[in-house]
Structure 1
Amino acid sequence: MIFGRERLETKTPEQVRAMRRAGLVVGECLALMSDTIRAGMTTGELDAVAEDFIRGRGATPSFLGYQGFPGSLCVSVNEEVVHGIPGSRMLVEGDLVSIDCGAIVDGWHGDAAMTCVVGGDAAARAEDLALSAATKAALWAGIAALLPGIGIYDLGGVIEDSVVDSGRADGRSYGILDGYTGHGIGREMHMEPAVYNERVRGRGPAVRVGSTVAIEPMLTLGTHESHELADDWTVVTDDGSRAAHWEHTVAVTEGGVWVLTAVDGGEAELAAVGASYGPLAD
């Protein structure tokens, strides 16, 4: 890839509002997954609940059939980082589960991910909670830095610095998954440009009002190295360490940032990191 040659298209306010409708379906579906997940259910059962919800909202699952992917969710457990195929795997208390969800409404995409522990925080290992918190903090650091004029590749340095700061505070070194990035999003789920999770050369295309991207740090308790399983989808850490994944679809507006896949538009989290909340009126 030649740095600096990618494009970052902008959306009109009407198009951003259309993306918000897709984003709300995704955000509400992930909230439902958080409430639904429990020990003894399979990842396939979780996926079925998600598909019913997405279709019940008049939306279409983005992932189902995408390049042959067989699920409406990616459900990645423990050492699985991303792209886990839902199926017969039974969840047990203490599993660290990353759930990635996408939906299409009127041709526009929303894409987001979260990490949770089966059985809740009380069932979690302390290091898993710290890992998930560090990943989420890196996501919101990147979102807060998404301002007009910044080069989109510059977010990588912001995200990496957040990861390093979290690791220092936690007394550990988190791995930033190598080779996987966020992306532009709109009429397609994956568009230019890449949104890096670590510092890279070049600044990339400038962010402008109307830019929409999916920011998604993926961290591990160990290595940055990974490989795909024989199913050609599931990405696992090389050293078997656990991983976390947090993602939001975000729009830059005249008033600030609108987190299209957050149910509240990101208002609370943006306030916590000192960033401007910029929803568009209906």
Structure 2
Amino acid sequence: MIELKSAAELDVMREAGRVVARALAACRAHAAPGVTLRELDEVAREVIFGAGATSPFLDYHPRWSPSPFPGVICASVNDAVVHGIPGPQVLGDGDLVSIDCGAVVDGLCGDAATSFVIGTATDADLALIDCTERALRAGIDTARPGARIGDISHAIGSVARAGGYGLLRHHGGHGIGRAMHEEPFVPNEGKPGEGLKLVPGVVLALEPMLHAGGRDGYSSDDDGWTLRTDDGSRAAHVEHTVAITVDGPTILTLP
């Protein structure tokens, strides 16, 4: 069942989104060669808990996972696409990092992700990140009353495929609200005109995940969480929480 959010609930989700945006900005500012992923998690914890919010990531334990997630961020480096555990890995010059973060304020969630390069960036990495961000923007621009989920999926997938990139198979965006993952599922590729019709009050977390190698496959690390491109190519992941309103899409995860 899809629960429509009231104006008051959207205001609370916007506050949660602001916490997420600040945590992501703090991680990005702290990230540098020699810094560990665990340090970035500690930075995000200070922002989230310092704001009086909680983390929907910490101790999250879906049925498919062998253990609860141990961090407040997912930190995925180079060929890791999503769900990377923020552990002792040390960042180096040229690493491509994707940080995914969430926050809960008064029982309502915000969820967003960003990708960036540590130090020296190659043209290929910058192009990958740029295309991922443009795919997200295309999806957001399509998220209007009267559109359908397939319209969003088609917009995201068209940008990604035009750039020659792959898309993480079986993964995509989702509804969000009192739970981090709610209905509906939002594929990152699809047919326009299909799926749920959007109405004001629907809130979606849109998140394209692009593979530089052009393939869609992935493998899972022994930790049961980290997903990597199956060809070893680099990946980028960006995300915003977006509300469908009578005036069009409203991004809730901005500073």
TM-score range, shorter chain: over 0.9
| Structure 2 CA distance for aligned equivalents of residues 16 and 152 of structure 1 | 20
| Structure 2 CA distance for aligned equivalents of residues 104 and 31 of structure 1 | 17
Q: Does 1:187 align with 2:178?
A: yes
Q: Which amino acid aligns with 1:31?
A: A
> 1:52 deviation in Å?
1.2
Match of 1:215 among 203, 206, 218: 206
| Structure 1 CA distance for aligned equivalents of residues 180 and 208 of structure 2 | 17
| Structure 2 CA distance for aligned equivalents of residues 194 and 252 of structure 1 | 15
| Structure 1 CA distance for aligned equivalents of residues 198 and 217 of structure 2 | 30
Q: Does 1:52 align with 2:43?
A: no
> 1:256 deviation in Å?
2.1
Find the counterpart in structure 1 of residue 3 from structure 2.
9
Q: Which amino acid aligns with 2:97?
A: V
| Structure 2 CA distance for aligned equivalents of residues 41 and 226 of structure 1 | 27
Q: Which amino acid aligns with 1:256?
A: G
> 1:153 deviation in Å?
2.6
Structure 1: runs of 5+ lacking an equivalent: 1-6, 168-172, 264-282
Q: How does 1:37-186 map to 2 (within 5 A)?
A: 37-67=31-61, 68-119=68-119, 123-165=120-162, 167=163, 173-186=164-177
CA pair 75-161 structure 1, distance change in 2 beyond 3 A = same
| Structure 1 CA distance for aligned equivalents of residues 150 and 91 of structure 2 | 37
Q: Which amino acid aligns with 2:47?
A: F
Q: Which amino acid aligns with 1:234?
A: T
Find the counterpart in structure 2 of residue 270 from structure 1.
none
SS at match of 1:54: helix
SS at match of 2:222: coil
| Structure 1 CA distance for aligned equivalents of residues 135 and 13 of structure 2 | 23
Instruction: Please report the TM-score for the alignment, with normalisation by the length of structure 2.
Output: 0.95
Match of 1:248 among 215, 234, 240: 240
Structure 2: runs of 5+ lacking an equivalent: 62-67
Q: CA RMSD in A?
A: 1.2
| Structure 2 CA distance for aligned equivalents of residues 200 and 235 of structure 1 | 26
> 1:202 deviation in Å?
6.9
Find the counterpart in structure 1 of residue 190 from structure 2.
199
| Structure 1 CA distance for aligned equivalents of residues 173 and 137 of structure 2 | 13
SS at match of 2:169: coil
Q: Which amino acid aligns with 1:174?
A: Y
| Structure 2 CA distance for aligned equivalents of residues 210 and 18 of structure 1 | 13
Find the counterpart in structure 1 of residue 64 from structure 2.
none
| Structure 1 CA distance for aligned equivalents of residues 2 and 148 of structure 2 | 10
Q: Quick check: 2:144–2:245 contact (8 Å CA) kept in 1?
A: no
> 1:102 deviation in Å?
0.4
Q: Quick check: 2:148–2:192 contact (8 Å CA) kept in 1?
A: no
Instruction: Please report the TM-score for the alignment, with normalisation by the length of structure 1.
Output: 0.86
Q: Which amino acid aligns with 1:62?
A: P
SS at match of 2:104: strand
Q: Quick check: 1:227–1:236 contact (8 Å CA) kept in 2?
A: yes
Q: Quick check: 1:182–1:194 contact (8 Å CA) kept in 2?
A: yes
How many aligned residue pairs are there? Answer: 248
Find the counterpart in structure 2 of residue 4 from structure 1.
none
Find the counterpart in structure 2 of residue 275 from structure 1.
none
Q: Which amino acid aligns with 2:122?
A: R
> 1:201 deviation in Å?
8.2
| Structure 2 CA distance for aligned equivalents of residues 160 and 101 of structure 1 | 23
